[in-house]
Amino acid sequence: MLTVRVGAGRYFARVRLAEDPTGRQPSNEVSVLVGQPDLPSVPTRPLVLVDGTTVTLNWTNTFEGGEPTGVDLLVDGMAPIPLGRVSAASFVNAPVGPHTVRLRAWAASGASAASEAVTLTVPGTCTAPAPPTWFSIGREGRRLTARWEPGDTGAAATEYWITAEGLGVYPTGGARLASGEVPPGTYRIWVQAVNRCGASGLSAIRTVTVP
């Protein structure tokens, strides 16, 4: 540890080994603000899931500026909703209709800019999930492994169905990964998200040839 007295200002600190006289292998750089306030940095774009009138948001707080004390939820047409220093929130009986939501971090020094906006719709009735995203398939010999993520918005899924054309439909429960050996051939494969209201549309369709 090292203690250094400095005046007010912003400093950029690195550490390197004394045995490295070239100085070519320093640590990562750390920004330090001394004696003056610094606004918090912007939270990441929230991931939103809607199930009937229940809305759930998840995001990541960032620390590129001052340390945040809390987070505000910004909904178009509404006053800011203080959430505290959290990275997830859930609301029941949300107002029906389309909404655009953003997040901002705040501290005693002030508030950050707003995060990237997400538009969601609260239908007030039961709806099927959105199609899964980031669907990919890897092959090792005759074993295929499929992975995917839930849709960015829409109703929550309770399970997933993966379809291999010519082989069948395979439920995976809530897992977002499926793996198994298949006979030689060429297959078109996709996945759907499912809840009590029905199945989503198809994900991206991947074509895989197994020799």
Token pair, residue 53, equals 């009138």
Query: Which one, of 144, 138, 136, lies nearest residue 191 by Cα?
Result: 136
Which among 90, 122, 154 is the end of a domain? 122
Q: What's the pLDDT band for 76 if we cut at 50, 70, 90?
A: very high
Let me know if residue 24 belongs to a domain.
Answer: no
- Residue 170 burial (10 A CB sphere; 0-12, 13-18, 19+): middle
| pTM tops 0.85, yes or no | no
- CB count in 10 Å sphere of residue 113: 11
Number of domains in the chain: 2
Residue 80: CATH number of its domain: 2.60.40.10
Q: Are residues 159 and 101 in the same domain?
A: no
The residues, any chain, with a CB within 8 Å of residue 22's CB and separated by 6 or more, are none
Give the tens place of pLDDT for each residue, 179-198: 999 999 999 999 999 988 88
Tell me the one-letter amino acid at 132.
P
Q: Cβ distance 66 to 109 under 8 Å? A: yes
Which among 101, 122, 143 is the end of a domain? 122
Q: Are residues 177 and 151 in the same domain?
A: yes
Q: Are residues 52 and 112 in the same domain?
A: yes
Which among 94, 122, 150 is the end of a domain? 122
Q: Which domain holds residue 96?
A: 47-122
Mean pLDDT of the chain: 89
What whole-number distance in Å separates Cα of residue 140 and Cα of residue 55? 39
